[in-house]
Amino acid sequence: MHETGSCVPSGGGDSWWRSAAIYQLYVRSFADGNGDGVGDLAGVRSCLAYLADLGVDAIWFNPWYPSPMSDAGYDISDYRGIEPVFGTLADADALISEAHAMGIRIIIDVVPNHASDQHPWFTAALAAGPGSAERDRFWFRPGRGPTGDEPPNNWQSIFGGPAWTRVTEPDGSPGEWYLHLFAPQQPDYNWGNADVRHEFEDVLRFWFGRGVDGIRIDSGALLTKDPRLPDVGLDEPPGPGHPFTDRDDVHDVYRSWRAVADEYPGRVLIGEIWLPDAARLARYVTAGELHTVFNFPYLSCPWDAAALRRVIEETLALNEPAGAPATWVLSNHDVDRIVSRYGRADTAFDLLRRRYFHNFPVDLALGTKRARAAALLTMALPGSVYIYQGEELGLWEVQDIPDDLRQDPIWRRTHGADPGRDGSRVPLPWSGTEPPFGFSPPGAVREPWLPQPKEWRDLTVEAESASDDSMLRLYRDALGIRRASAALGDGPMTWLPVADGGVLAFDRVPSAPGTSGGDADGGVRCVANLSASPVELPPHAAVLLTSGPLADDGLLPPDTTAWLSV
Ligand code: NOJ
């Protein structure tokens, strides 16, 4: 057993993550403490009370390490430090202690698929030359063709363009190529190399030892590669035969990581595993591997009752054999903000089609109404829930960022065809009536790193705190009820029969009799109306919360969810 760096919150015990409401905090855009236009840890520390008040159980930080920021911190040059623009390791230690004292746990992002090209291991590999032990920690190969000027295989970068870049050798000659499944500034590690495995186990211990409660594993299905590096077929499905996605040997990595996590009580490993096949995804949460995986099928699902019900059932079936809790995610820093998505004619999300979405009109009022209904639906489902910062304010995707201010490598690598993810990463509006809306302190020397729409004056924390029907009020109320109720969070759910296929209705009844004494103690009945007509509420004792007003005759309007006590 190891000592932790600070006192650990006791709420939820070692299994806190099974029911937790987890706030995804994108440091660059949360709060700027020093006025340089970029969010930082000082800013986060000054706003921890906001998160405690919101009622979240944990914060997941996107990468906060030293990074050249070629991919907003997912290109790490030192896994044991803090990016100077964000603060210092001492700031992180203080933040962890302060959050713990408020009952909030801390999850950090670890990026094991790739380094930064400025990481000392990669610069050493470049200097050491072909055949060296230093190069074996990455994927260096000679090129194809008579002069070696063609990439070693046909793999394409997920950000667009080839997945290989040729280096100049120390003697000045054109040399080997290295693999990068993302940007050229993100060279892929060779997980067949023992140094890589030991290094990451050590990194986990470093952060667990500082009191971090959980690790989100970036690009978790991509780590191991077929060492023969064969060409990949266009239709090659992920799985054992695929050269770089969801290979069987990636599970060896997670078994060893789980053994490390188990040395520290109450710690959690959360996989970012985008896979189309639910059965393959389930393998990551089998005994001795990860605790949970993100629910991308739910995140991608259209606002449609039948489709949502199917995904909910599949999710529960997937997690059940392993006894893992489901996770429910509406959005994150890689996808379009939910208000905009639900306000378009096509309400599904698809990474490969993002480039087309931005051409479609958005009905923000409709999107907001649906996002409110989705929030209550999501928070009533069994398991843990993620809230991406700004979701609680109803922020929308900023689609009109000027081209010269866009930062996402996807934008550049697709030559502007894909707008990228900047629109979901715009700094939060806190107060006041004009940008920077309290994101930066008065007298800040720089403007926010991405421009905020002036219309966000109505969506600031200050404005929404003063309003009874704001999105923020809805999230605070819902999280409060969810925390107080023994029925919500982890546990069973039972579907109710419905007359209209556009309605989702289910009961959450506590597995053990309630101890909270709250209104929701006997159980919570959740009804979401995704149909085009108002519907009757099922039998209930009292209305606990609704995402919008009920009609005068007591009917539940379209695109509205109600929580009822039973
Ligand atoms: C997934 C992260 O969420 C995304 O933001 C990042 O660009 C890629 N992995 C590469 O690290």
Question: What is the domain partition of the chain in residue ranges?
Answer: 13-113+195-465, 120-179, 492-565
- Nearest atom within ligand 1 for CA of residue 75: 11
Given a cut of 70, whether residue 499 has pLDDT beyond it is: yes
Neighbours of 559 (CB within 10 A): 23
Could you tell me which CATH number the domain at 13-113+195-465 has?
3.20.20.80
Neighbours of 281 (CB within 10 A): 25
Average pLDDT over every residue of 127-146 = 97
What's the pLDDT at 257? 98
β-strand pairing of 164-168 with 174-179:
antiparallel
Query: Lowest mean pLDDT: which of 126-130, 275-279, 397-401, 423-427?
Result: 275-279
Q: What does pTM read for this prediction?
A: 0.96
Q: How confident is the model at residue 135 (pLDDT cuts 50, 70, 90)?
A: very high
Residues annotated as part of the active site: 218, 263
CATH of 120-179, one of 3.90.400.10, 3.90.1580.10, 3.40.50.2000, 3.40.50.720: 3.90.400.10
DSSP state of 559: T
Residue 43 CA to ligand 1 center (angstroms) comes to 23
Number of helices (H), then strands (E), belonging to the chain: the values are 15, 16
Residues 6+ apart with CB under 8 A from 306: 501
Q: How many whole angstroms separate alpha carbon 218 and alpha carbon 141?
A: 25
Helical axes 364-380 vs 471-484, angle rounded to 10°: 10
Bridge partners (DSSP) of residue 387 are: 23
Residue 239 · residue 262 · CB < 8 Å: no
Q: How confident is the model at residue 22 (pLDDT cuts 50, 70, 90)?
A: very high
Q: How many whole angstroms separate alpha carbon 143 and alpha carbon 164?
A: 9
Bridge partners (DSSP) of residue 177 are: 141, 166
With the most atoms of ligand 1 within 8 angstroms of its CB, the residue from 334, 354, 388 to mutate is: 334
Residue 333 CA to ligand 1 center (angstroms) comes to 9
Q: How many whole angstroms separate alpha carbon 350 and alpha carbon 132?
A: 41
Residue 367 · residue 374 · CB < 8 Å: no
Question: Percentage helix, strand, coil, to 5, in the chain?
Answer: 30, 15, 55
Q: Quick one: 492-565 is in which CATH superfamily?
A: Golgi alpha-mannosidase II (2.60.40.1180)
With the most atoms of ligand 1 within 8 angstroms of its CB, the residue from 182, 244, 424 to mutate is: 182
Distances (CA, A) of 182 to 74, 220, 320, 334, 412: 10, 14, 33, 14, 12
- Nearest atom within ligand 1 for CA of residue 421: 5
Q: How many whole angstroms separate alpha carbon 58 and alpha carbon 506?
A: 26
What's the pLDDT at 120? 98
User: Can you read off the two tokens belonging to residue 32?
Assistant: 């700027």
pLDDT in tens, 89-101: 999 999 999 999 9
Average of per-residue pLDDT values in the chain: 95
Q: Which residue has the tokens 């280096």?
A: 167
pLDDT in tens, 223-266: 999 999 999 998 899 989 999 999 999 999 999 999 999 999 99
What's the pLDDT at 234? 85
What's the pLDDT at 11? 79
3-state SS, one letter per residue, for 119-141? CHHHHHHHHHCCCCCCHHHECEE
Residue 325 · residue 384 · CB < 8 Å: yes
- What lines the ligand 1 site, CB under 6 Å? 71, 74, 111, 182, 218-219, 272, 333-334
